[in-house]
Amino acid sequence: MAHPEAVKMFRSYYYVVQIDSTYKTNEYRLPLVEMVGVTPVGKSFVIAYALVTHESEEKYLWVLRKLKALLNDAVQPNAIVTDCEGGLLNAIPIVFPDSSHLLCLWHIYSNVETKALNITKHDNWAKHVTFNLFTAVIEAATEDKFNVVWGKLAREWAGVAAYIERQWFPHLEKWAKYRTNKITHFGNTSTSRVESAHANLKRWLNSAKLAVDSIWIRFHSLMETQHVEIRHSLELSRSRRLTGIQRLFSRLSLKISKNAICELREEFERGAKMTEDALTIDCGCVKATTFGLLCACSLHRISRNGSRVPVDVLHAFWRKLEYDGSEAMPTCDDDRLEELFDEIRNADPSMRSSMFDALYSQIHPEQEDVG
């Protein structure tokens, strides 16, 4: 189920999708899968949700194919962020082969922290040291640095290292930052947005015993409120200038989101604390690859030249302050559609009636009886 406004939003902001399941939302005790997107003003929106009988690869394939059908074939999400759910891990590369798949860092941290506490026999100091080492492993900017820190962790805390190697190394490209820093994910490396959406939805449902039709009615009301807030936030970026911004960013005001300008200012200030040689050698340029913005070395080069940051060098995501869904609208072959209509017209009357009912229920789902 997807709200029409959310579908339009998804077709404009399809770059990152977070997917997770929640429970205790309906009288059938079916898992509810929520798919959440993010706007350039930092607001989350629920793209769609689905009730599934169980969390298997087969069911996730169905969910993801329905999600993909909302877009045309020319676009796919840059990144899909999930928990380490086996059925979902298998389904994503089948339906979205060109999308990068990231695992939620918060869930990985939580699992490793729990394991470390058990292995170190609830020695909080040992757990703290282990956790800090694992954080350094995740944050390592290069493969060489990763190997150095990992070697230290493996030597000092062999039991924890064995667990990480067994549980998480098969998915290394989905969480190690020296790998994920090559992916444009706009800072979305956890499923926190969808977790928040779960909590928000449950507040609106206010019951774990609702039927499907009741869930849709309350979900619709929640979406209406959410979309009003998002439109207002987008309008503020289009109409209200940020005060006190440097000349370097003066061309960007009212043309990109305020969030993007804040990220650029923060990156410029990071570069201001570095020497020119360090900027050249150690910038890392992570902001350029992960956020689609300019990194510290590029910003300082533009500043030294007395120029200003042009709008068109920034990722299109940050420039979309209005949405109509036209960019990723699925296309339909009109000739094939006409052929199908001709087949329906020439079919047996009983078959024609059945096909009419099927088409009508697709076009007007709100008039379907829910049993």
pLDDT in single tens digits along all 371 residues of the chain = 888 899 999 999 999 999 988 766 555 577 889 999 999 999 999 999 888 888 889 999 999 999 999 999 999 999 999 999 889 999 999 999 999 999 999 999 988 888 887 877 767 777 777 888 899 999 999 999 999 999 999 998 888 899 999 999 999 999 999 999 999 999 999 988 877 765 666 665 665 565 666 677 777 777 888 889 999 999 999 998 888 788 999 999 999 999 999 999 999 999 999 998 999 898 999 999 999 999 999 999 999 999 999 999 999 999 999 998 888 888 766 677 788 888 888 888 888 888 888 888 777 765 655 43
* Shared domain check, 98 and 196: yes
**Exposure string (b/e) for 319-355, b if CB count within 10 Å is 16 or more?**
ebbebebebbeeeeeeeeeeeeeeeeeeeeeeeeeee
Q: Is-contact 238 322, C-beta < 8 A?
A: yes
* Shared domain check, 304 and 271: yes
Report which of 329, 292, 310, 312 is spatially closest to residue 38, judged by C-alpha positions.
292
**357: DSSP letter:** H
In a domain, 73, yes or no: yes
CA distance 271 to 297: 7
Name the H helices within 206-275. Answer: 212-239, 258-272
CA distance 355 to 346: 12
Label residue 144 exposed, middle or buried (CB < 10 Å: 0-12, 13-18, 19+): exposed
**284: DSSP letter:** -
* Shared domain check, 215 and 74: yes
Containing domain of residue 341, as a range? 334-366
Q: Is-contact 288 298, C-beta < 8 A?
A: yes
* Shared domain check, 309 and 250: yes
Taking every pair of Cα atoms in the chain, the longest distance, rounded to a whole number of angstroms, is 80
In a domain, 328, yes or no: no
In a domain, 185, yes or no: no
* Shared domain check, 211 and 95: yes
Count how many domains the chain has: 4
* Shared domain check, 208 and 95: yes
What's the whole-model pTM score? 0.85
* Shared domain check, 194 and 175: no
* Shared domain check, 97 and 217: yes
